[in-house]
Amino acid sequence: MENKTKVHMDQLLSPAGHPVTVLRFEGDIASASRDTVLGVYKRLPTESSKLILLDFSKVGYINSSGITLVIQLLMEAYQSARKIYAFGLSPHFIKVFRVAGITKYAGLFQNEADALTAL
The per-residue pLDDT for range 26-74, each reduced to its tens digit, is 999 999 999 999 999 999 998 889 999 999 999 999 999 999 999 999 9
Dist CA 44 CA 47 (whole Å): 9
Phi, psi at 44, each rounded to 5°: -70, 135
- Calpha distance 71→20 (Å, rounded): 20
pTM of the model: 0.94
Domains of the chain and any CATH numbers: 6-118 (3.30.750.24)
> Is residue 27 a contact partner of residue 3, using CB atoms and an 8 Å limit?
yes
